Amino acid sequence: MAYVAVDADDRLEEGPDGLQFKSFLGAEQGNEAAGGNAGVGHADRGYLQDRPKGPSGFWTLDYYQQYFDVDTKTVLRRCYATMIPTNVDFLSVHLNPPDLYGPFWTLTTLIFALYLSSSLAASISSYLSDPDEEYDYDFTLLSIAMSLVYAYGLALPACLWLALRYLGVGEWSIVEAVAVWGYSQFVWIPVAVLCVIPVPLVRWVLVAVAFALSGIFLIRNVYPILASAEAKALRLVVVVIFVLHAALALTFKVMFFSYYVVDKIGYDIPVPGGDDPGPER
């Protein structure tokens, strides 16, 4: 194999009169390709940067996500605070910031507590009365409990907030209104479990205690909102709340805490306008 020696061509040397490289790209793209600072890269355009998020509308999930960002310890502390009658600063101390996670699970747990406790007591009493008879669970009680609890714990505070908003009373938000009503129903959960005891007088005492604790809690948190309105007549809304709360307690007692098959134990308190008290069914 033969090698041919080739002399270097001085015309290819880069110099004033030599060969120059020329870019056929645009000025901006050429600078980017060469690593210059005159161009605008992806980071400068904002492609790789987090864009600031604006306020989300109430129709989006991001808007409600903040009201479910709460731990279990905080929810339990707020639930226990509703059972202390001396707590007068629940909105400003315990419910700051407000949440919807606790009220939702409080109401949902109450629904299942009402149904399971009533069904368990009725099935046990049916077995003690006649072991050979098969007991049929009444699933309509579950739908009644769901409609009653959600209507009182969610729809009622929403309607009250809307009415007060229309009348110019805007001292609280709809989330705070729902949270107050939702947490106020926590006391009914242990009462529903304890009302399995087949003693009517004990059940009446338990219902009265739950009615008093939850009622005091509602009045302590709702009355300051009503008192801040210019129209003094709005304070009478407390009477409406008291009547509805009493109706709820009486409905719980009749529908879920009085369902027994065997003869009752002890003396019962007759309901005004009811039938002649006999063995509860």
Q: How far apart are CA 37 and CA 31, in angstroms?
A: 7
Q: How confident is the model at residue 52 (pLDDT cuts 50, 70, 90)?
A: very low
Residue ranges of domains in the chain = 86-255
Is 262 exposed, middle or buried, given 0-12, 13-18 or 19+ CB atoms closer than 10 A? Answer: middle
**What pLDDT shows up at residue 38?**
46
Alpha-carbon distances of 43 from 48, 50, 221, rounded to whole Å? 5, 11, 52
Q: What is the largest CA-CA distance in the chain?
A: 129
Rounding to the nearest 10 degrees, give the CA dihedral for residues 98, 101, 106, 109: 180
Of 122, 100, 84, nearest in space to 221 by CA? 84
Q: What is the pLDDT of residues 164-216, one digit of tens each?
A: 888 877 778 888 899 999 999 999 999 999 988 878 888 899 999 999 999 99
Q: How many CB atoms lie within 10 A of CB 204?
A: 17
Q: How far apart are CA 9 and CA 6, in angstroms?
A: 9
Residue 83 has which token pair? 């059972």
Q: What is the pLDDT of residues 222-263, one digit of tens each?
A: 888 888 877 777 888 889 999 999 999 999 998 888 755 555
Q: What is the pLDDT of residues 5-35, one digit of tens each?
A: 555 555 444 455 555 545 545 544 444 444 4
Please state which of the ranges 83-97, 153-167, 175-189 shows the lowest mean pLDDT.
83-97
Which sign does the torsion angle of CA 143, 122, 262, 257 carry?
Answer: negative
Q: How many CB atoms lie within 10 A of CB 59?
A: 7
Q: How confident is the model at residue 56 (pLDDT cuts 50, 70, 90)?
A: low
pLDDT, averaged across the chain = 75
Q: What is the pTM of this model?
A: 0.68
Q: How confident is the model at residue 41 (pLDDT cuts 50, 70, 90)?
A: very low
**What pLDDT shows up at residue 264?**
57
Q: How confident is the model at residue 75 (pLDDT cuts 50, 70, 90)?
A: confident
**What pLDDT shows up at residue 178?**
92
Q: How far apart are CA 86 and CA 200, in angstroms?
A: 29
**What pLDDT shows up at residue 31?**
47
